[in-house]
């Protein structure tokens, strides 16, 4: 398959998926999402690939969902567009399955993160098994500032309930060093060491038996299922859907309105401006 918004390569037992919309800081639109699914599906049965590395081209890992409204009906449905309940539910199930599929891919996955890692981008880094980031990376999910919810239940297990609340209630970003402290990621490394660190890790893992790795991952993930993650995917998605559909009250910030009137940049600026006080 020819890819447009990602690059998929294989080298020495390692598969590389590179998000490739550098001019948009790898904002995830419908096409990118579809190609991401396809690349993971290609890597999973491929015996030449022992471990998958996910990274971003250009200045960032990914700023998250493409908020432009162009070819984004899957990643960011416009709440003002009437869609049948059935269609909404179907879309939610798809989202749900997508993160679960990557989380349960029968191979180890490593997220190599630099620059912004927000929203969907952060979700992607979270569902990967291991996350290594450069010290300049910023993590967060500003969904709440647009009246939306995160659809990622892993927050609570990774950083604990208090930190999850702090981060998702405020939508604030944290540095890679903080993220390491909170166990959101495995390790923060200097920017010039990021690639070599990830390569070392991936090479080391690629020497291991693939069957064993699949089993090992299944063992760990099944413990997470027992800890409630299975139900949590569903609950989180349903809440996300409810929030997505709520109508904005008069005077309440409406991202979609502002975007239509003043453009994307202005809408994001207006979204974040009131919160500049956060570190």
Partner 1 sequence: MKYENVLLEIEGKIATITLNRPEKLNAINDAMLREFEAALDEVRRDPDSLVLVIRGAGNAFSVGQDLSGVGTGEVMPPNPRSKAYLSDMLVGAMRNNFRWQSIFELHKWTIAQVHGYCFAAGLDLAMSCRAIVATEDAVFGDPSIRMALSSPNPLWTYRVGLKKTKELLFTGKYIDGKEAEKIGLVMKAVPAAKLEDEVNLTAETFAKSAGIGGFDQEVLVWATNMAKLDLGGLAAARRLAANVHVLSAIQRPGRSIIDRGEFNFYDIRDEKGLNAAIEARDAPFREYFPQPQPRRS
Backbone angles phi, psi at 51, to 5 degrees: -150, 145
Q: Where does this chain touch partner 1 (CB under 8 A) — which range of 26-34, 55-63, 178-186, 240-248?
A: 178-186
84 vs 107: CA distance, rounded Å? 37
Size of site (CB under 8 A) for partner 1: 36
Under the binding rule (CB under 8 A), the answer on residue 131 touching partner 1 is yes
Pattern 20-59, partner 1, x by CB under 8 A: ----------------------------------------
Pattern 95-114, partner 1, x by CB under 8 A: -------------x------
Q: How far is the CB of 59 from partner 1 (least distance, A)?
A: 24
Window 207-236: residues binding partner 1 (CB under 8 A): 207-213, 215-220, 222-228
Q: How far is the CB of 229 from partner 1 (least distance, A)?
A: 9
Nearer to partner 1, 128 or 241 (CB): 128
Q: How far is the CB of 182 from partner 1 (least distance, A)?
A: 9
List, edge to edge, every strand of the sheet that includes 116-118. 116-118, 138-140, 174-175
Task: Tokens for 61, please give them.
Answer: 């890992």
Backbone angles phi, psi at 209, to 5 degrees: -65, 130
Nearer to partner 1, 27 or 105 (CB): 105
Residues that bind partner 1 (CB under 8 A): 108, 129-131, 154, 157-158, 183-186, 200-201, 203-205, 207-213, 215-220, 222-228
């Amino acid at each position: 398959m020819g890819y447009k918004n990602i690059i998929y390569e294989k080298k020495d037992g390692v598969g590389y998926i590179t998000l490739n919309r550098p001019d948009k800081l790898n904002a995830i639109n419908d096409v990118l999402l579809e190609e991401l699914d396809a690349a993971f599906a290609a890597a999973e049965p491929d015996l030449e690939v022992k471990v998958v590395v996910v990274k971003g081209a250009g200045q960032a890992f990914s700023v998250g969902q493409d908020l432009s409204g162009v070819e984004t009906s899957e990643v960011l449905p416009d709440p003002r567009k009437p869609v049948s309940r059935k269609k909404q539910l179907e879309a939610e199930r798809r989202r749900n399955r997508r993160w679960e599929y990557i989380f349960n891919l029968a191979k180890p996955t490593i997220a190599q993160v630099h620059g912004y890692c927000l929203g969907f981008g952060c979700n992607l880094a979270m569902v990967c098994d291991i996350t290594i980031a450069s010290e300049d990376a910023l993590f967060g999910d500003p969904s709440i500032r647009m009246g939306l919810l995160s659809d990622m239940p892993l927050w609570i297990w990774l950083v604990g309930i208090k930190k999850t609340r702090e981060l998702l209630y405020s939508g604030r970003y944290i540095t890679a060093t903080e993220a390491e402290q909170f166990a959101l990621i495995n390790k923060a490394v200097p920017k010039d060491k990021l690639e070599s660190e990830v390569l070392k890790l991936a090479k080391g893992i690629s020497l291991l038996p693939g069957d064993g790795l699949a089993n090992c991952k299944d063992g760990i993930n099944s413990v997470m299922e027992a800890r409630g993650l299975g139900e949590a995917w569903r609950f989180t998605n349903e809440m996300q859907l409810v929030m997505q559909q709520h109508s904005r009250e008069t005077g309440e910030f409406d991202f979609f309105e502002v975007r239509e009137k003043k453009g994307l940049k202005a809408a994001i600026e207006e979204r974040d401006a009131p919160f500049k006080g956060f570190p």
